[in-house]
């Protein structure tokens, strides 16, 4: 294949001279300094500049060599439908408030509470994204809105500076009355500055390679574009069901195990028209979606009898949770509902925030087809869910080289192990050899022996391994 090569001015001058002499053999005034050589030299130098400009132009149009604004322009050329450089993300993690002595009163920790990492200059501030409390009679905080566990939080500002090791975010800017201390039992991860050229280029290549939209790599690449107020879908994995045809689950996480947020509806919702069905309806949508739980209470009150009855999933109806769609059985309800029948659903949970955005990216949005085209194949259901958190317990004993501070080395080993676990993908196993390697890479380490785990830890496809500082012991 032909490759463009820049020709130097002396090469061009020699080529012009040879051509002139071959066509005019009587012309001999081509010695250096002559009028003709001066003209040839000027033309050759200009030719060299043209070659350089052409090479620079080729650089600008190469996805592998363009940088900065030029790379942004090439991304638009490659993918007119849209792929943009990441604007940076906030670090995500969790916080835990404690008190030394339990009291009969609860300590309320509202969403929006500020804490900081001591020693950072300028100060790195973190804010809780859900409410919590230290329960009456308890000594440590729990989340009170959403999944149980520690209180989720994120860095206030975008950037890699928000990433933090375990037990380093300890400055309560409130402070919270009744709480004695605060700390982060898991690392703050996922903070990133504006996406660099190399990372953006790799994402462009990944996206181009997955343009067949219904493939698992394409779906995973699509949801990784999700950015909900600085919370990004850093991890994604498509797991196809061996039992249900044309169904797969897309597990999504923000890297900190805090991707899940949901709301419960306030009361019974009428799926038919307020005055009852007009007759013939068999498909019904909830007002909110995607649905979170796996069981629902649908009640049908026939107009003819007025006696309500609870319908059975799989017998009376089928459900598509990702769309909030309930479809009556064509066998039991061949003509749908009768006029005046009322179908209701009891209060249900639906995803909000990052997971809802990921579902929208997959299913599309008819109100905004430019930014949210349909990404799944027809007749296929892709349900976005968070992976189950597999909380680990790790214990090891270390031997430290003489001359090193043992406590300092132990602390660095704890952080190295915690950071390894925090970087694992969905479904990634915990490898004992990796734990040993991370521990031994710490300066001052002589030897390490793990008491737990004693071997590799298998992690299911729908799980993600994580660890809290309270379950990580380095003796």
The two structure tokens encoding residue 364:
């599309």
Contact 461, 385 (CB under 8 A): no
Residues 6+ apart with CB under 8 A from 170: 115, 117, 118, 181, 182, 183
Residues of the chain with pLDDT > 70, as a percent, come to 96
In this predicted structure, what is the pLDDT of residue 20? Answer: 76
Compute the distance between CA of residue 436 and CA of residue 448 in angstroms, rounded to an integer.
7
HSE-up of residue 297 (Cα within 13 Å, Cβ side): 9
Query: What are the structure tokens assigned to 37, written together?
Result: 């050589």
User: Residue 2: pLDDT band by 50, 70, 90 thresholds?
Assistant: low
Q: How confident is the model at residue 61 (pLDDT cuts 50, 70, 90)?
A: low
- Looking up tokens 């700390």, which residue turns up? 183
Give pLDDT, residue 122.
84
Is residue 41 very low, low, confident or very high in pLDDT (cuts 50, 70, 90)? confident
Q: Any idea what DSSP says for residue 162?
A: G
- Residue 82's pLDDT is 64
3-state secondary structure of 37: helix
Q: How many helices (H) and strands (E) does the chain have?
A: 8, 28
Looking at the chain, the whole-number percentage of residues with pLDDT higher than 90 is 68
Q: What is the pLDDT of residue 445?
A: 98
Q: Provide the 10 A C-beta neighbour count for residue 141.
A: 26
Reading phi first (left if > 0) and then psi (alpha if -120 to 50, else beta), residue 294 is in alpha
Supply the pLDDT for residue 371. Answer: 86
Q: Kindly report the number of other CB atoms within 10 A of residue 305's CB atom.
A: 9
Contacts of 433 (CB under 8 A, 6+ apart): none
pLDDT at residue 401, as a whole number:
97
Longest dimension (CA), the chain: 116
Express each pLDDT in 271-314 by its tens digit. Answer: 999 889 999 999 999 999 999 999 999 999 999 999 999 999 99
For tokens 């991304």, the residue is 75
β-pairing verdict for 298-301 and 394-400: unpaired
pLDDT of residue 60: 63
On whether the CB atoms of residues 426 and 236 are closer than 8 A, the answer is yes
CA atoms of 296 and 172, how far apart (whole Å): 42
- Which residue in this structure is represented by tokens 């990944």? 206
CB neighbours of residue 272 within 10 Å: 18
Residue 329: pLDDT above 60? yes
Reply yes or no on whether the pLDDT at 33 is more than 90: no
> Please, are residues 254 and 190 in contact by the beta-carbon 8 Å criterion?
yes
β-sheet with 445-452: strand ranges across: 445-452, 394-400, 472-474
Here the tokens at position 110 are 């509202």
- Position 468 scores a pLDDT of 95
pLDDT digit string, tens, across residues 258-273? 999 999 999 999 999 9
Query: Region 400-423: what's the mean pLDDT?
Result: 97
DSSP strand pairing (342-345 vs 231-232): unpaired
- Which of 28-32, 348-352, 355-359, 448-452 is the least confident region? 28-32
Helix (H, G, I), strand (E, B) or coil at 247: strand
Helix spans in 188-232 (H) = 197-209, 216-223
Q: Which two tokens stand for residue 457?
A: 């830890």
Task: Enumerate residues 6+ apart whose C-beta is below 8 A from 26.
Answer: none
What secondary structure letter does DSSP report for 89? B
Per-residue buried b or exposed e for 4-32, using 16+ beta carbons within 10 Å of the residue's own CB: eeeeebeebbeebbeeeeeeeeeeeebee
Mean pLDDT rounded to a whole number for the chain: 91
Q: How confident is the model at residue 52 (pLDDT cuts 50, 70, 90)?
A: confident
Tokens at residue 174, please?
Answer: 């409130």
User: pLDDT grade, residue 1 (50/70/90)?
Assistant: very low
Q: Among 57-71, 112-126, 143-157, 270-284, name the one with the lowest average pLDDT.
A: 57-71
Q: Is the pLDDT of residue 23 over 90?
A: no
The top-scoring range by mean pLDDT among 32-46, 218-232, 324-338 is 324-338
Structural tokens at position 217: 């790599």
């Amino acid at each position: 294949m032909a490759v463009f090569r820049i020709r130097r001015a002396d090469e061009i001058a020699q080529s012009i001279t040879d051509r002139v002499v071959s066509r005019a053999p009587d012309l001999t005034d081509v010695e250096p300094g002559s009028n003709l050589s001066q003209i040839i030299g000027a033309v050759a130098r200009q030719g060299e500049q043209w070659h350089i400009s052409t090479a620079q132009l080729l650089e600008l149009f190469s996805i592998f060599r363009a940088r900065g604004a030029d790379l942004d322009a090439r991304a638009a050329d490659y993918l007119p439908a849209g792929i943009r450089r990441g604007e940076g993300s906030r670090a995500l993690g969790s916080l835990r408030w404690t008190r030394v002595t339990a009291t009969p009163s609860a300590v309320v920790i509202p969403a929006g509470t500020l804490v900081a990492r001591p020693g950072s200059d300028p100060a790195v501030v973190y804010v809780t994204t859900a409410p919590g409390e230290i329960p009456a009679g308890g000594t440590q905080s729990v989340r009170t809105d959403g999944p149980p566990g520690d209180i989720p939080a994120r860095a206030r500002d975008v950037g890699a500076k928000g990433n933090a090791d375990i037990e380093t975010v300890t400055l309560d800017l409130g402070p919270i009355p009744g709480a004695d201390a605060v700390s982060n039992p898991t690392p703050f991860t996922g903070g990133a500055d504006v996406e660099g050229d190399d990372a953006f280029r790799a994402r462009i290549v990944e996206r181009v390679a997955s343009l067949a939209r219904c493939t698992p790599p394409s779906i995973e690449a699509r949801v990784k574009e999700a950015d909900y107020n600085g919370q990004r879908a850093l991890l994604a994995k498509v797991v196809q069901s061996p039992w249900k045809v044309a169904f797969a689950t897309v597990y999504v996480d923000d890297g900190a195990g805090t991707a899940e947020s949901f709301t419960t509806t306030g009361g019974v919702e009428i799926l038919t028209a307020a005055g009852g069905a007009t007759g013939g309806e068999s498909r019904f949508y909830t007002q909110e979606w995607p649905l979170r739980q796996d069981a629902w209470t649908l009640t049908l009150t026939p107009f003819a009898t007025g006696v309500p009855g609870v319908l059975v999933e799989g017998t009376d109806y089928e459900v598509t949770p990702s769309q909030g769609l309930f479809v009556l059985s064509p066998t039991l309800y061949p003509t749908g509902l009768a006029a005046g029948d009322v179908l209701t659903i009891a209060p249900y949970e639906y995803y909000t925030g990052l997971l809802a955005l990921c579902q929208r990216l997959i299913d599309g949005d008819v109100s905004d087809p430019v930014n949210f085209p349909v990404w799944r194949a027809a007749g296929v259901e892709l349900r976005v869910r968070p992976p189950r958190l597999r909380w680990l317990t790790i214990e090891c004993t270390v031997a430290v080289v003489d001359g090193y501070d043992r406590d300092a080395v132990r602390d660095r080993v704890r952080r190295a192990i915690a950071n390894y676990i925090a970087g694992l993908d969905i479904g990634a196993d915990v490898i004992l050899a990796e734990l040993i390697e991370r521990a031994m890479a710490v300066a001052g380490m002589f030897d390490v022996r793990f008491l737990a785990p004693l071997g590799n830890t298998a992690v299911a496809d729908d799980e993600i391994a994580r660890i809290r500082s309270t379950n990580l012991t380095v003796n």
